[in-house]
């Protein structure tokens, strides 16, 4: 006879616990995704910096660093109200909407009622003026008086600095007599033409003289003095042609340090540059 027990059987369950979800879990994937995103943003930033001009980068920097004052009306003080109070009867407010035509600077130019100049419109107008001057100098305009012989000595390009007008020599036509700063009739005609065409704008001008390298080594290399003398002669010819002396901002001799061709002794390196600077 078998005895029966009322006790329930004991069941032992073994659970195998896996720590980390295998292969160290999924935390590394999140970190790797953040790293890839950061690298993509970095390379995108580098590409944008390379694809924009210096002027565009400066505009972006100014956008994120506004310099708009708390009060445009200033009496010369340094308080919250710029020194202009109800008790100051002798204060001369500076409201920022006046201007001066004598030696104007960015601070003294008319800025409008908002105190901020409309730079975009000014830049567009200036760019259009540069393009029109370049077309006239290259003889492309319908009313251009530039002859074919003169136009072949002119190269123009618009840069961040301004409109560069480059006048260069050829083997058969020289701008200056050999080794001197005495201009040839061709150079005088070119200067009268440049002065007449650039009279339509009021941009300041910078003049640079360039010469070819000397074939032999001199104890006193003449290229520095010669390039400076030719640049100064260019200034005199422009002023004689009608360019206002106040518009000349600098006259520089670059010697043979900025060559236009691979051959340092090529006559193509004998040239002058007239730069209409941006405002």
The domain ranges of the chain are: 119-277
User: Which letter, b or e, does each residue of 146-184 get, where b requires 16 or more Cβ atoms within 10 Å of its Cβ?
Assistant: beeebbebbbbebeeebbbbbbbbeeeeebbeeeebebe
Question: DSSP character for 74?
Answer: B
Report whether 222 contacts 179 (CB < 8 A): yes
The pLDDT assigned to 259 comes to 87
Q: Which tokens is 16 given?
A: 């195998």
**pLDDT value, residue 7:** 66
Contact 227, 255 (CB under 8 A): yes
CATH architecture for segment(s) 119-277: 2-Layer Sandwich (3.30)
Q: pLDDT grade, residue 70 (50/70/90)?
A: very low
Query: For the chain, what percent of residues have pLDDT higher than 70?
Result: 68
Q: pLDDT tens digits, residue range 50-67?
A: 888 888 888 877 777 655
Adjacent-strand bridge partners of 206: 250, 275
* C-alpha angle 238-244-245 in degrees, rounded to nearest 5: 85
- Tell me how far apart the alpha carbons of residues 230 and 271 are, in angstroms, rounded to a whole number: 9
Contact (Cβ atoms closer than 8 angstroms) between residue 269 and residue 259 = yes
The pTM of this model reads: 0.55
273 pLDDT above the threshold of 90: yes
Answer whether residue 257 shows pLDDT above 80.
yes
pLDDT band at 254 (very low <50, low <70, confident <90, very high): very high
Q: Span 61-87, mean pLDDT?
A: 54
Both tokens assigned to 46: 């580098």
């Amino acid at each position: 006879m078998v005895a029966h027990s009322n006790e329930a059987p004991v069941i032992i369950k073994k659970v195998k616990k896996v720590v980390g979800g295998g292969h160290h879990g999924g935390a590394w994937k999140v970190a790797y995704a953040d790293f890839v995103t950061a690298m993509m943003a970095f390379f995108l930033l580098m590409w944008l910096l390379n694809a924009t001009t210096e002027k565009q980068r400066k505009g972006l920097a100014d956008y994120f660093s506004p310099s708009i004052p708390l009060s445009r009306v200033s009496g010369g003080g340094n308080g919250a109200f710029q020194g202009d109070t109800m008790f100051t009867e002798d204060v001369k407010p500076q409201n920022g909407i006046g201007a001066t035509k004598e030696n104007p600077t960015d601070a003294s130019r008319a800025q409008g009622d908002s105190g901020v100049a409309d730079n975009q419109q000014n830049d567009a107008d200036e760019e259009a003026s540069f393009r029109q001057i370049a077309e006239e100098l290259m003889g492309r305009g319908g009313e251009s008086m530039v002859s074919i012989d003169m136009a072949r000595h002119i190269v123009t390009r618009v840069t961040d600095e301004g409109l560069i007008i480059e006048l260069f020599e050829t083997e058969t036509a020289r701008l200056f007599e050999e080794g001197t700063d005495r201009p040839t009739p061709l150079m005088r005609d070119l200067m009268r033409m440049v002065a007449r065409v650039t009279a339509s704008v009021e941009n300041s001008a910078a003049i640079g003289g360039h010469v070819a390298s000397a074939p032999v080594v001199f104890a006193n290399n003449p290229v520095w003095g010669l390039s400076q003398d030719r640049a100064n002669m260019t200034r005199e010819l422009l002023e004689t042609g009608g360019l206002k002396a106040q518009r000349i901002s600098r006259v520089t001799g670059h010697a043979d340090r900025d060559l236009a061709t691979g051959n340092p002794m090529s006559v193509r390196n004998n040239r002058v540059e007239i730069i209409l600077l941006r405002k």
